[in-house]
Structure 1
């Protein structure tokens, strides 16, 4: 699993030397790389891949990687994507450019199409795409990527999430991804601006609610409606959503489970009896369609015998913020922190 963990000057190829990195080392290494190439990135185990120059033809696995590149000003280097963003799902200033990117796969890009794309870099948002469906067939091996002349990297904040040794309580891994991706694409200045903006946003929230005692923080359940209602899928303490919820001044109702996601029973949700429920629906591409999806998720909770008695349901404590900006790493994670906090602490957060 190659993750964008650290960017810095280094020698070519991949090192067998593994396991020496840390989050602090990653941030420090990324800062060193601001001057230019060569730039190295490491995987979740510390193995290194080096870029002698910025890639010229990039393929992204999904809309998250594409959005980051657009925000960095490297969108003109993207020659294709999988899981393309629906029209209107990205901010207006990015949407038009995103719609011009060639769609190599409506879900996971087929192996043959990816290897024959002509890309020199493939950015995976997740360590494994198998759980995302789409009948993808076999993914390319690292040897096949190398033979095709494609460097293959993953985003650390998602690829390494399940293997973290402790809960994630801030957005530093996301910011490290942005810093490293900026170094790899020659857009370090833009990356610094994006990271600084995220820190300002989260810092303002922390100034307002960060001192709230743990016992006074409301419990919060992320309801992944689109993942299915028969057996809820919850976010655990290694997932970026846990950091978003924590920074917003809430307590993740399932913050006691280690890992990124976990399937539980509705009896487990009932036992938690959360104060607030986020209606985590996926972006439908327009305000009216999104409202309809939020309404549908809320109605399901109100009508279902197992959930209609939950405290949050009875009190109407629903948060209408989409799934992607909460559970998938990106610049908008910081905005989600602010929006959740504004709902939970009215009048305290601007």
Structure 2
């Protein structure tokens, strides 16, 4: 996600979540979205029209749908994992992943609120509220993106160990080690994102939420290497590791399908296929943003075409945080049965117990 520096003083309405988003020119005399869309389609270049139309569709319509569905889905998944009778290391990873994705979606939902307030002519209220919230939300956003990436890497590596060395996995992939790994990932992500807390400061001469960039973030000697470091740590390295590990997992699945297995191992394979789907979704959703970020495309000085593309890549990041519950439900029958047991009070289905791999 974009993290380049912005001008020294800029209204919070121009600092919306995710950061790469900037507001459309607004006509405060109307709240009719269709009239807004008609306005932006005239007397502008095709690139500007592409950007403004894309931002309207993503920010006002798609973001709230993805955020609400994702937050509800992640909370449902969290409850199912926590209340699972058969605990496993995989459950620990997926539980913490649900929390991390929820934090990301809450920040994304603030972006929708900002767009909505502007379209109904409440820009002053937007400036006041988000002038207070944005510096903290900006930190949470960057922390959660990095955290989600490395939690996905962790569960992928664990799954490969299960596939490659099932006997060793019993002692290597324990619940205790999963908890320690999750704690290390969370703390590391929080520390790496600390400079984002120091990025903005509220100007004392204004009382409408106006923010300015701190001296630290105005220094290119700091921002250039730090932004590059962030892009490598939270995008490039996780993507490279996941491509390799996912390839290994798929290879092991192919070998197993050639030999054939009894039902207990088929249950394990279904869990593995579910995790492969999660990894593929991560790769598809995160790669476009990683590419455009690593190419060091700025936003404030970017073309309208690049801004429009960033609207789409930010939406894909939102989708990545919202989709996991539906993958669990679609690929994992055990998860569906536990979901029905928790929320519909149905008796549990008698599944074959797989102690070393029990995932709801």
TM-score w.r.t. length of structure 2: 0.25
Bigger helix fraction: 2
Higher relative contact order (CA 8 A, sep 6+): 2
TM-score w.r.t. length of structure 1: 0.26
Larger Rg, first or second structure (1 or 2): 2
Bigger strand fraction: 1
